[in-house]
Structure formats: structure tokens, C-alpha cells
A and B are shown apart, each in its own frame.
Chain A
């Protein structure tokens, strides 16, 4: 049971990583002059979109937290709308935090917002897929000792890694190397992406490593 669960998790994560790698390679076949650094905004859009859709599809297939409650159409629609609202609010929130961190308020607002969307995709969308629009559950997962399945652990690790990656990505900006990737927000979004990928890789390994200590209790 446990091993099959971890294998499922690993396969989901590998698909996610593959989708990110594809976003850097495939568009150059269709678009002229495409490169991650040169046309960074396009890449940001493509990457957010593909990771987002990938995540949604994967979690619809695997259903890590199957809900036992009623599944009427109206309920599903309401849930979907709530998800969208949550996602949008998180984009705005991330945008606000990035501006508070010192991003320019008005100039390059599009770059900042797309970076916020990317971060939301890596963190909020992932949460929405696993936990649904349930704020209490989020609080539970992100508090100490709150994880109730390996999916929750995976969520914790990837979210933290992407945020920390974005945080670390800001450090090269003041250096005077004059490299193309030092331009706002490239280093941060690359940092977030690398963090996310690292999180996806680390999570199954870490869970596998600690499988003895992990004893989940359902409420």
C-alpha cells in the first residue's frame, strides 16, 4: 500500500517535471525567436498554463483526497468557481508581497504579475488540486504536524521549495555582472522553477527515506 502510494506520487511528480522541461523546448518549434531569457514573458505564460493544466489533469485522474460527500453538478460548479476566486486572490496577494519586497509599483507591472501567477501556479494551484478550496485544511497542512497523507507532505515540500527558490532567486539581482538573466523577474522566476522542480524530486525521496516515522492519522 505504502510503496504503491509512493510510486504513484513519484510518477505524478515526474510528469510535472517533464511538463516544465517541455515548456522550454516545445514552443521554439512553433514560435520564432523563442528563448526562456529573451522572450521571458511568453515563457512565463506558457509555463504557468502548462503546469496548471498538467496539475489539474493529474489530480483529476489520481484523486489523492477523494471526498465522500455529495457530488451534484451545482456543488461542483460552486467548488470550481471558488477555486478560481482563490487562485485569483492568491495571485493578487503574491503580487502585493512582491511589490512590498521592492518590485517597482507601476513600471514592469506585467512582469511582476506574471511572476505572481507563476508562483501561484506552483503553490496555490497545487494546494487547490490536493485540498480543494478549504481554508481550514490549508491551515492544518501548513501547521506543525498537520500532514495526513504523503500527498500533504509532498505539498508542503514543493510549496516551501518554490517559495524559497523564488526568495533565493532575488539575490543575484544587485550584482553588477550585467547578465541577461539578472533582469527582473527572470532570476526570481527561474529560482522559483528550479525550487519547484527540486521540491518535486526531493519530496518522494524524503518520504521514502522517512517512511518508517511517518504515521498518518485520519481525523
Chain B
């Protein structure tokens, strides 16, 4: 079957997207999850009934503590309390830990060690899986069953002061709250004073049951100057003073009422040696966890090493301490020392409740839960608990009862440990079978791409896909049968929870046929390619002739980028790679332009016979055909020369200036948004502009940018869309003014800030209008005229509509990114690509590189935190899933998308010169996306037990995956455009 390279590329990319999807599904297991919380809280399980009797304690246990205060200190590392720093700067806490009535633990946080997932872990007791963080990006409120919700339902009054993440996670849960924002990292005093100022008043009052304080200052100091900074000491002392104040107030109150109070001190995550967090180094993961209450026994100086527990254990311990039902998704286990002072019956009851909840969670998540050792242990323990109850109710109070109780206790603890760990493991288990199938598909497609390069990029831009012979061959059927057999064996043998096994039988067979079919096609294409000697002779002359420095750079850059993905630092700092590459590209272009404008003269003067060796040719072979080609090129240059001469001097100087202007633009953009990890804390223009003192500057910048966008975009639009564009950009400014980013000059001090829904919808109308006009033009060009001009205008209108949408969605200080994007595109097109007649493949690669660089210029990084979720809410009252996902996706990938669309516009205008340009462009675009994703998938599979897999490699994998889906869509659009043209051709 003969396919044009565009169609071929889109088909391949589509199959590849399928493979990537399968791989991602296998790589990111769904989180352990119970049903969402339902209306009423489930009744706590009764005590296991002793045989023949019934228990007289069926209601839930009463709370152990009357009031609880949770002090969460952001980025509190374990050695800040238990280490030498703690001794030096936190004397009161140290004294409490060593001799006071307290229990201290080291709680281990699971990566990603970022505040929001950590708060979720602390309150729900579940482990927010990686994918969970992504899934919940859109919904700010925590919908899972959690401690705070349970407390509120139980009628407890909760007061919260601190990081406003809590306020967003638990809206309407607190009777009183004051959220502080963690946006200004350089502020580490005010942010804590805003919490502490409420403390005196609140501690005097009696009208609360749970007080939560979240201090951010320490984290900010860590980000600013690391864990060894001199600022840490005073901050720890300040925290110590606060703890002392709270503790003494609580103690003085306890005199009045019988029930004791509880003070919990914990950190959400630690900090690394550089002061950042998010990864899984020891300093980031280990946090202190302190329970202080007069109910506990006083420690008698005996220094035990602090026990290592999980952060998730806090939720269940607090739930029991406050007499609340345990959250359904909690995988934590009760910290027994906290309930040490209770009677044996109570302790057993608590452990039973905990075990019951864990085993129910296991039942909901694992089909074969009965075989789980933890479940079996729990059943045994439950049974012996029943017999203990029998003894107890019979009134036996001897030593036997105590010893038997201890034995049951031990059984319960064992069972809890096994249950908890098997539940936690489920979060981190890879579905290797799906991953392998996905990888195989991706690799086969990549190989097919690589084999077809020379044919697809030839002048005909066609590729002969050998479809019918391999599909009828014996090999194909044999492969299908073998793979089906393997599928059956894998799925039935271990009882593994592979996703690929759980999909329907028919689709599994379909995928298997696809895999084997691709393999057969690949083999026959290889055979055709290498066993046909004629092709081999023809190709080298065509391929090696045109290796200029630019081509070498492009090849080296692509390979270099792919290899750099193996190092976690290079992934964190991927923006550096792209900035470096496009800078070098600009310099190489500068050289090319110089050669084009200056040395053509020299060539004119020199005799053609003075073909000498130069270092540029060292790379190639010095065979004779090559020299011929070179002479041919020289001739071509000479014929081209008069043209450029007649174009005049100004164009020449503009062309020479273009790379430098672009370099300066890129340097400015680079300092607009600092991204990455190592240098992310450096001050940048973006933060300077968004801080509230510089509103006037931001307004000026935004308005200038909008005017420039209009000037740059309107050149090629029709009149109607010009007007629509202008109105739309005005709408963008008024939207920004409405949400309070910028100000109109005439309303300096208006305070009313709305969500700007009307304004945003106003802009959406124009976006849709412009895109609609564009589509209409495209259809018109397809049906009626044969003029490619109309089609170009249609494409450009669609492009400008998306520019308008990007102007609306991007962060307010990122409008210059859009301006520079348009400026660079315009300059490149006018002065570099068109006059120097780069071929479609080179232009495509340059577009791809710039697209990648702009992805980072707009402030993205390879971490999840930099995704701007606010873009999904623009113009909507509340969260609506599909538009929110689409808008967030567009805002995140607007750089690469706009460059891809510009490529389409450019190639469609270039089509007269080279009819195969569209096909070449589409093929190159698909290939460029396919190489890194295939390499990265293999890499991630190899590194799946790497220390940084969840903090560094997985987010990047998600970004790559989404990028492949988006580029598949773009490629389809490409092909559709190409289709129109070719259909028109023969007419």
C-alpha cells in the first residue's frame, strides 16, 4: 500500500499514542481507594463477639482527649528537633522529649514531598499516589473521607491558622480560619506572625475542640538559604517559644476539667541539604512527630531511640484519640504508645477497629484479598480477641487474662503491620506486562519511522508500506498465536492485576494482532530496504551531499537531548538544554546568513576549480560525487545571487541582525521565569512583576504586549478577524483588570475584584468567532478555489484565534512570551527561512526546538507544581471537567502548540515552492516526538527503582505522554490540510 508521508506519519503516531497510553496505565497504578465518603459516617465495628455471649460495649469508644492542638511546622526535619540543633535552639521541646509526658517518633513521608499531598496524607491517612496528585489538580477541595471532615461531622469546632492550602482543601470546615499564602518565599517572619497573632486570644477561649496551626516560615528559610543557614536557629527558637506557650496554657486548663488535652507537633516534609524538597532523600523524608499530653506517663530519663513510623499513622491515631471514626482510605496503623495508658480492653478495641478498617479497604482493592497474609492474621487475631472477651466478661482478672491479652495485642500488631504494608505496596507496584506491551508498540513504530526516513523525505514524499504480503504470511499468524498463548499464560498464572489482562478479550487480541502485524511490516520493510541493491547505491549520494554545519548541529542536538534524559539533573534542568540548543542554533544561523550574503561574492570571484578541502568537509567523505554536488551547489548559489542583490541592502542587514535580536529576546525571556530546581529560587522578572507593588508596571507591560500582539498578528488576517482580534485583546485586558492583575489608568483605587466571568466569556466568543472564520475559509479553499492563498489565510486565522486564547489563559506576566514568540516567528520567516530557502525538514526541526524552549520560557518545568491550574477556571463559575482539562492543557502546552501551528502556516505558504513540504514537515514533526518518547520509556523502565523515580522521572514521563497525545492531534490536523491540497492537485 502506498501512503503519503504525512498520512503514514499520522498513522504511526496514532499507534504510538496507543502504546504510550498503555505504558502509562501500567506505570501509574491507580491509587488505593475506597468509595468516596458517603452521607453518614459508618458505624464503628462492634467488638468481636465472644462465642455464645454478646458484648455490652457496642457504641464507639469515647474520646481520649478533650481538645487537641496540631502544630504543623513546614519543612521541619527530624534533626531540627532530635538532633544537635534541637538541643541548642529548642530547649523546651527537647526537655519534653527527654523527660516530659510525651511520645516522640520519626515519621517517614512518602514522595512527592510537597506540602499539599503531605497534608492529604496526614489528614486522610492514605498515600496520595502520583497520579492522584494529577487527578486532583483540578478539584481543590478534598473529597475523600478525612479526619477534618469526620471531626466536623461529629460536631467538633475546628479553628485553623496557617497555610491557605488547608482552607482550599477543606472549605467550610473551619469555624474560624486565617489563611496565609506561601507565595512570597522571601518573607519568613510576617508569614508566621500572621499565625501567632491569633494564638493568645484563641488559647484563652473555650469554644473550640481542634486547633490547627501551620507555620511556613521554616520552609521559606530553607528555600532561601538551606538547612544550615543562620536564620534557622532563631526560627526554631521562635517555634519552641510557641510550643511552650501552647503547652503551658493547655496544662493550666487541664486543672479545671478532667479530660486531658493533646498537643501534636509534626512536620509535613523535611528539607534536602540544599533546602529544597519534593524528592526522596533522607532529609526530605524524615520528619519529627511528637505527641504531648499530661495523660502520658512521665519519661524517666531513659533515652530510647525514636521509633520510625509512617506519616499516615497520624490520621488513625488522632481519630482514635478524638473518638472519631477512622477515615476509610487510611492505610495507617495505630501508634500504640499513645493509647498505652488505657485498659487492655480499650486497647484491643482500638486495634480491632483499625484492623477492621484496613481489611475492608483491602477487600475493596484486591479481588484475592482472602489469600493476603495480613487478612489471615487479622482473622486469627479477631478470633482470639473473641475468646479473650469471653474470659474477660466472665470476670476473670487473673494473670492469665493479662498475658492472653498481651498475646492478642501482639497478634493484632503483626496483622496491622502486614495489612498496612501490603496496602501501601499496592500504590508502588508496577504493572510490568502492560508496560512491556506498550514499550514494544512504541519501539516498533520508532523503527518503522527510522527505516522510512529516506523514502519519506524524498521528493515524492511517499512511502510504500508493504501491507498485504506480510499480513498473509505464515509468520504473522504464528506470531499472533504465540502472543495469544503468552497472554493467556501471563494472565492466568500469577493472578497478577495487570491492566492489559483486565481489558476485554477482543481488544486484547486486537492489540496483539497490531503488535505482530507491525513486526511483520517492519521485517518486510527492512528486507526491502537492504536487500535491494539499487536503492543502496542511489541513497548515499543524495543523503551525504547536504551535510552542512546546521545539519550536524541539528542531529547532534537531537541525539544529545535524548541522551541527556538519562540523568535526573538534566531532566530537572531540561530548560537549560533547550536554551543552550536554540542559542547555538541562532549562532549557526548567523553563520549561514553571513555565508549567504558575504561569501557568495567570493564564490563569484573565485574560479570554480578552486575546490579545496576545508574543515567543514572533514566529517564527510571526500569522494568525487560529493565534489560534483558541491560544484552544483555553487552554481545554484550563483544563479540565486542576483536575486538577493536586487533585494537591497536593508534586507541584508535585517537578516544579519535577526539571529542577534532573537538571541536577545531569548535572554530576556529566560530571566522572565526561572524554572527548574537548582536555580528556581533565584529572583526573576516574573515574581517582581506579579508582586502587588508593581501593578502599574505590569499593567503597562500587559497593554504594550497586547498592542504588539495585535500588530504582529493582524498582518495576514482578513478584515473581519482583524476587528474581532482587536476587540478580543481589549477583552483580555479588561478580564485582567477585573480579576485584579492589572489596573486601568482611570480607576486607580478600585477594590472590587470579581472572577471576570463576563469578560472571559466575551473573549471566548471572539476566539470561537475567529476560529470559525478560519475554518470557513479552509472549507472554502477546499471546495471552491484552487488558490492556496485562501487556505493560508484560513490557517492563519485559526492560528490567531489560538494566540488570542493563549493571551487570555497565560499568567499575566507571560504576555511578553507571546509577543516574543510572534516576533521571532515573523522575523525568522521573513529574513531567514524564506530568503535562505531552508528545506521543510530543517524548518520543522527548528520549529520543534523553539516550541520546546517556549514551553519552558512560559514558566513550565518538568515538575508538577508549575502547571497553572487557574487556567482551567477562566470564565467558569465552578469547576467543569472537560473545559477545565482542555484549557489547562492548552495553557501548559501553548508554546509548542503555537509553534506547531505556525509551522503549518509556513509550510502551507511554502507549498508552491515545494509541493512535498507538508508531507516532509508532518513526517519530521512526528519523528521528532517519537524519538525522545521511545527512548524515555525504555529509560524509565530501566530506572523504575531509582531513588528519584517519583520526584523527577515520573512527572517528566507524564509531560512526555501528554505531549505525544497533543502532537498526534496536531499531526492529524497536518494530514487533513495536506489531504486537501493533494486532492486539489490533480483537478
Contacts and interface: CB of A to CB of B under 8 A. Distances in A.
Interface in A171-196: 173-176
Contacts of A174: 569-570, 572-573, 576, 676, 678
Interface stretch (B192-200, B258-266, B428-436, B614-622): B614-622
A147 B678 contact: no
Interface in B335-371: none
A99 B613 contact: no
Chain B interface SS verdict (over half):
helix
Interface in B663-702: 663-664, 666-667, 670-671, 676, 678
B614 A144 contact: yes
Nearest to B662: A100
Nearest to B666: A100
A160 interface: yes
Contacts of A215: 612
A170 interface: yes
A167 B580 CA distance: 9
B583 A139 contact: no
Contacts of B583: 100-102
Contact of B576 (A102, A144, A157, A214): A102
A175 B599 contact: no
A104 to B, nearest CB: 9
A60 to B, nearest CB: 27
Given A156-B614, A170-B580, A102 B567 contact: no
Nearest to B670: A102
Contact of A175 (B567, B598, B610, B612): B567
B584 A145 contact: no
A147 B569 contact: no
A75 interface: no
A91 to B, nearest CB: 17
A216 B598 CA distance: 22
Contact of B610 (A145, A173, A176): A145
B615 A157 contact: yes
Interface in A71-118: 97, 99-102, 105
Contacts of B573: 174
A209 to B, nearest CB: 10
A100 B614 contact: no
B602 interface: yes
B584 A167 contact: yes
B667 A139 contact: no
A210 interface: yes
Interface string B591-617: 000010011001000000011111111
Task: Kindly name the residue among B570, B584, B614, B663 whose own CB sees the greatest number of chain A CB atoms within 10 A.
Answer: B614
B828 interface: no
Contacts of B792: none
B614 A146 contact: yes
Contact of A160 (B580, B615, B667): B615
Nearest to B587: A97
A7 interface: no
B595 A143 contact: yes
Nearest to A175: B569
Contacts of B666: 100
B579 interface: yes
Nearest to A203: B615
B660 to A, nearest CB: 8
Task: Kindly name the residue among A100, A153, A175 whose own CB sees the greatest number of chain B CB atoms within 10 A.
Answer: A100
A144 B616 contact: yes
Contacts of A217: 610, 612
A4 interface: no
A195 to B, nearest CB: 14
Contacts of B602: 139-140, 143
Contacts of B678: 174, 176
A37 B587 CA distance: 30
B667 A102 contact: yes
B598 A139 contact: yes
Contacts of A214: 612-613
A140 B614 CA distance: 11
Interface string B552-586: 00000000000000011110110010011001100
A77 to B, nearest CB: 30
A33 interface: no
Contact of B622 (A97, A139, A213): A213
A156 B602 CA distance: 18
Contact of A101 (B580, B617, B622): B580
B595 A175 contact: no
Interface string A52-78: 000000000000000000000000000
A112 to B, nearest CB: 13
A217 B614 CA distance: 14
B664 A100 contact: yes
A206 B615 CA distance: 10
Nearest to B586: A100
Contacts of A213: 613, 622
A61 B513 CA distance: 76
Contacts of B584: 167
A174 B614 CA distance: 35
A100 B659 CA distance: 11
Nearest to A148: B612
Contacts of B587: 97
A213 B614 CA distance: 11
Contacts of B618: 206
A100 B667 contact: yes
Given A100-B663, A100-B667, A102-B579, A175 B570 contact: yes
B579 A210 contact: no
Contacts of A97: 587, 663
B599 A139 contact: yes
A55 B569 CA distance: 40
Contacts of B615: 153, 156-157, 160
B614 A145 contact: yes
Contacts of B664: 100
B580 A102 contact: yes
B551 to A, nearest CB: 15
Interface string A154-176: 00110010000001001001111
B599 A99 contact: no
A217 B612 CA distance: 9
Contacts of A156: 614-615
B614 A147 contact: yes
Nearest to B677: A176
Contacts of A206: 618
A210 B617 CA distance: 12
A217 B613 CA distance: 12
A191 to B, nearest CB: 13
Contacts of B568: 176
Nearest to A157: B615
A25 B427 CA distance: 57
Contacts of A145: 610-614
A182 to B, nearest CB: 10
Interface of B: 567-570, 572-573, 576, 579-580, 583-584, 587, 595, 598-599, 602, 610-618, 622, 663-664, 666-667, 670-671, 676, 678
By Cβ-Cβ distance, the 6 closest A-B pairs, closest first, are A174-B573, A145-B612, A100-B663, A176-B569, A175-B569, A144-B614
27 contacts: A100-B664, A100-B666, A101-B579, A101-B580, A101-B583, A102-B579, A102-B583, A139-B598, A143-B599, A144-B617, A146-B614, A147-B614, A167-B584, A170-B580, A173-B576, A174-B569, A174-B570, A174-B573, A174-B678, A175-B567, A175-B570, A176-B572, A210-B613, A213-B622, A214-B612, A214-B613, A217-B610
Given A139-B598, A143-B614, 11 more contacts: A100-B663, A100-B664, A102-B576, A143-B595, A153-B615, A156-B614, A157-B615, A160-B615, A173-B576, A176-B569, A213-B613
